[in-house]
Every structure is written in C-alpha cells, then in structure tokens.
Amino acid sequence: MTIDPTKGPLVLGIHEDTNANAALLCGGTIEAAVAEERLTRTKFQGGFPARAVAEVLRLGGVSAAELDAVVAANRYHFLPRLAGRAPIEGEHDLFGPLHRGWLALQDHLGGGGVAARCMEHLNERLLARRFARPVDLIDHHTAHAYSAYLTSGFPEALAVSVDNLGDGFAAKTFACRGGRCELLWGSRAQNSPGQFYGEISQLLGFHVLMAGKVTGLAARGDARKLYPLMERLFALERDETDFRLLPGLQRRRSAPLFAELAAASREDVSAAAQQRLEDVLVAYVRRGLKETKLSHVVLAGGVFANVLVNHRLWSLPEVEGLFVHPAMSDQGMAVGAALTHLSACMPLAPRAIADVYLGPGYDEEEIGRAVEEAGARATLCRDIDLRVAELIAEGKVVARFTGRMEYGPRALGHRSILYHTGDPSVNDWLNRRLRRSEFMPFAPAVLAEYAPRCFTDYGPGVAHTARFMTITLRCAEAMRRLSPAVVHLDGTARPQVVHEEFTPGFHRILRLVHERTGVPSIINTSFNMHGEPIVCTPNDALRSFAAGRLDALALGPFLVTGARANSRGRPSCR
C-alpha cells in the first residue's frame, strides 16, 4: 500500500481500554485499522495496542518518525492501563462493588474539576513518554460522534453516541454541520443505558460484552409481562436529554425487583428489556431531532450494536437517513479519535466510507506456505470464486478467506463462513459445529440489485449502512419464502447488501449462486470458533476450518477440503 502524502497529515490513532485498537489515517482517508484482539487471539483484548500499532504502520509502509500526530481516545479512563493492570478487566460483575466504584469515579471525572484536570495531565505525560512526543487526547463520545458523522456521507446529521461509559458519560448528542460536531447535551456515567442492558445480560447468564444474545432472545418472549419492571429500572428524565437508572443500592441481584426478573423466563425478560431500551432511545433521539430540525441520524457507541434499536430509529417518520458506523463499539475509537483531531487541523467533509477492508492481507506465497506447513489437503484454483459459488449451490458450508481483513465486529465476505439460505435448521447444527449459542438467525449477504425486492423498508436513506450489517430490515414475502434461514421471528433480517463496485469478488459469488439457485442471497457468518476473535491470518483460518468441521475453505486461491494432505503438491482446480 502506498500512501499519498499530499492527502493531508499522517495520524496514528489508538484506543487502550477493552477492545484496544489502532488506526492510521492520511487526511480524511482511513488507510489501516486493526483491533488488538485479532492479532493476540484474545477476544476483547484490552491494554496498549502494541501489535495493532505496529501492524497499521506496517500496512501503511511508514515509520513512527514519519507521523504528523499521535492521538489517543479517552481523556481519563485509560490511565490504569498505562500505570499497570486495569481495575476492570475482561468479564466482570456489573453488580459488583469494583465496577460500581469505577462507575462512580468516572461519573465524578465527567464533572470536570481538579481531579479530572490532574488525571488528563498525567495521561498526557505518560503517553508522551511512551511515544517520545506529545499525544493529543480525544474525548470518548466526541470520537464516536466524528467516527459516525465523517464516514456517513451526510452533509448534516444528528450524531448520537451511547455506550456503557466513556470519559465520565454514558451518552452524548451532537448537531453536525460543515464537518464539525457541536455538543448539545450528555448523560453521565451513573445513568447508563449500557449499564441497564448489561445488567440484564448478566442476570440472564451472558457475558457482559455479549449482550446481543439478549437481543436475539427478545423475539421469543412477551414484553408486556415484565415491562412495568423495566420502566422502574430505566427511564428518561422529563426534559428527555438525560437517562435515569435506579440508584445503585437498589440495583443488586438480591433486590426484590431483580429477584422477580431472575424468576421469570429468559425470553420474557429479554423481550421487556429490549422493548424498554428501544422506547427510551427512540424518545431520546427524537428530542435531538426536534431541537435541531435535522432529519439524518448517525450512530456510534456499543449500544448501537443493537440492530433492533437501529431499525426502530430508521422507522421514525422524521428520519430521512440513518447511518451506523461499521465499528460502532470501542473498536472504532482509534478511527474516531484520529478523525476528530484531523477535523480541527483541516477542512473535512463527510464522505461515505467505501469499504472496511482495512486490516492485513496475505499474498499467494504466504498462503501457500501456511497450507504446506499445515499439511492441508488443498488445490490451487484458477477461478476460486466460481468454485465457491458451485459449492454453496450444492449445499456445502464454505469458509472464505481473501484480501484484507475487515475493520469492526462484522465479517463482510473476507473472513466469512458461507452457506445457502434455504435451510432453517442451519442455525442449530452449524452453531453446534462452531460451538456457539446464538438465538438470532444467521445474517444474509444480498445482491444490491435485489435488495429493494428483498426488504420492504430498504431505500436510499439506509442503503449505505445496510452494506455493513448494522441494521435489521423488514423482509418481503419472497425473502421469507426463499431464505427462511436468515429471517428472524419478527420478520426482519440483518443484511449485508453487496455492491459490485465495492466488493467485486464477493458480488460475483452471489451472482453465480443466484444464477444456479434463483436466490439472490447467501448466509454470511463470521469465520471463527466460539470465544475466539474472527480469523486474521491463514494459520488462524486453517485451525478454525479444521475445528469447525466445515466442508471447504477458500483460502486465497487455494481450495482446502481436508485437514491433512497425502502429499504436499498443489494440483490445479479448473
């Protein structure tokens, strides 16, 4: 990759908390972005992203000395990462005193004052020592807002950032015009929508960072049964610019309200929590739309990994366009921090992000060496995409590894497992092979030419975000009939709409499958085993392929069909 220095300053962005990551930007262009977990193989890897920093610099072909600036997301709450072990690490109890104390501290720092200024100054000094240069610190939610606005393509938008906490706040709302984000209001850390949904997730036995399982279960329950309890747990203040949770001492596992929830069915609890989250966030966003008279909405922050919330917002009559940043969680913080810094240095107009293939890629020689070292049974195919389409049409499960790795939490065809959409039982047997416990059906990759026929609420205002699996859409009757494996109980699906312009190889596979089957979509799920990050290297792919007992692996130009080969030759395929 060759970077054009005339495009603007060369900026390294980093994020050091859970989901640590790094990004390299030149002007307003994202040249490389990588999450540390993909390189260490530890899911949600936190701490200083040493490997990710080295990787984005390698991908950019630049040295640290050539950087014009280094910026770090978060002004306050990554200090423990720099000083030593973080007080909150990996899976932790959201009901526990350690987390509640951390929440209270962050809430206090969000108010500014001497303690906040001292911590920010110390952070700057520690980072300057690490990089041997000054490092610009960027507010957490401001980074989220810029990541969404400047990659949306919308000239003007309401930007909303909502997650568990960041720099003392759980949420902030911005009016975005002329390439800049102006803060309207925020909600402090003690009243966090992410905390509310996370507590429900843990109460039901799910990992604190895997609350999407609650979203999946919600369609199987009756929200009405427990909704009054959720109204007591989580609400908006009267002016609709701030959230409200029950005080901490009333949010204990042993408290009567939570004991009542624990005794109910997981499905009903999930349905009520999901409904309450949607209702409150809809009112919160509507307040911003009314205040600003804007009609486009851009979203970032971990809460907007909830695709049902995003769909509710898109369904609002006053919303003409909606975009969710592809790395809406803290995996997008490094990009957001760098964009925030650049927006202060040069004029930046919002540009629709073209694709998210921003991680490492591997050439034929590197892939071939991995195949030989693994002793895998493989053939070298002159037309690997044609062979993948043929196998899918024959009912085979095919893993695909090609090009540069995706940025963000979704596999979008470069590190994916693919299958046809006609088998509704696939969610059971394939998830068992991959050792996953999922409640939502697999997501479809859909030919862009057929998206308007597949989804009744697909249109220009949501076409961009629908390319990145960040929203559900309502399935048309033909989609429900032809592709039952990807249609959820509520009649929606979470698509990746595939355009030839942006992903020509993947588009061709879909087109060839359509020619053979008459179905313009295929299942696309992430290429990884349960508890592991999405695969990054050819070696990762070969290990995951063998463990998942899949039918075939398209590894670059090689078709791998077995764990061990009888010989190390590379016969041709077609």
Count Cβ atoms below 10 Å from residue 129 Cβ, excluding itself. Answer: 11
- Measured in whole angstroms, the distance separating CA 395 from the mean position of its chain's CA atoms is 29
Q: What is the per-residue pLDDT for 6?
A: 78
How confident is the prediction for the chain on average, in pLDDT? Answer: 93
For the beta sheet containing 552-555, the strands, ordered from the edge strand earlier in sequence to the opposite edge, are: 496-498, 443-447, 521-526, 415-419, 398-401, 552-555, 558-562, 377-381, 572-573
In CATH, the architecture of 5-89+103-139+333-345 is: 2-Layer Sandwich (3.30)
Q: What is the mean pLDDT of residues 383-412?
A: 98
pLDDT band at 449 (very low <50, low <70, confident <90, very high): very high
More confident residue, 435 or 222: 222
Q: What is the per-residue pLDDT for 441?
A: 80
Beta strand 10-15 with 21-26: parallel, antiparallel or unpaired?
antiparallel
Which residues on adjacent β-strands are paired with residue 188?
A: 169
Q: Answer whether residue 378 shows pLDDT above 70.
A: yes
- Among 62-76, 286-300, 434-448, 462-476, the range scoring the smallest mean pLDDT is 434-448
Q: Answer whether residue 569 shows pLDDT above 50.
A: no
Q: Answer whether residue 574 shows pLDDT above 80.
A: no
Question: Whole-angstrom Cα distance, residue 41 to residue 567?
Answer: 30
Sequence spans of domains, the chain? 5-89+103-139+333-345, 146-332, 364-573
- Is 413 within 8 Å of 400 (Cβ atoms)? yes
Q: What is the per-residue pLDDT for 92?
A: 74
Q: What is the per-residue pLDDT for 93?
A: 82
pLDDT band at 568 (very low <50, low <70, confident <90, very high): very low
Q: What is the mean pLDDT of residues 498-512?
A: 98
Measure Cα distances from 24 to 214, 286, 361 in Å: 34, 35, 16
Q: What is the per-residue pLDDT for 101?
A: 85
Q: Which fold has domain 146-332?
A: Nucleotidyltransferase; domain 5 (3.30.420)
Q: What is the mean pLDDT of residues 376-385?
A: 95
Cβ burial, residue 80 (10 Å; 0-12/13-18/19+): middle
Question: Whole-angstrom Cα distance, residue 43 to residue 22?
Answer: 16
Q: What is the mean pLDDT of residues 360-378?
A: 96
Digit-coded pLDDT (tens) for 224-237: 999 999 999 999 99
Q: Answer whether residue 126 shows pLDDT above 50.
A: yes
pLDDT band at 426 (very low <50, low <70, confident <90, very high): very high
Q: Which fold has domain 364-573?
A: DHBP synthase (3.90.870)
Give me the percent of the chain exceeding a pLDDT of 90.
80
Q: Answer whether residue 2 shows pLDDT above 80.
A: no
pLDDT band at 240 (very low <50, low <70, confident <90, very high): very high
pLDDT band at 248 (very low <50, low <70, confident <90, very high): confident
Q: Answer whether residue 135 shows pLDDT above 60.
A: yes
More confident residue, 476 or 217: 476
Q: Nearest to residue 193, comparing CAs of 157, 221, 233, 149?
A: 233
Give me the percent of the chain exceeding a pLDDT of 70.
95
Q: Do the domains spanning 5-89+103-139+333-345 and 364-573 agree at the CATH topology level?
A: no
Helices (H), 222-264: 227-233, 256-263
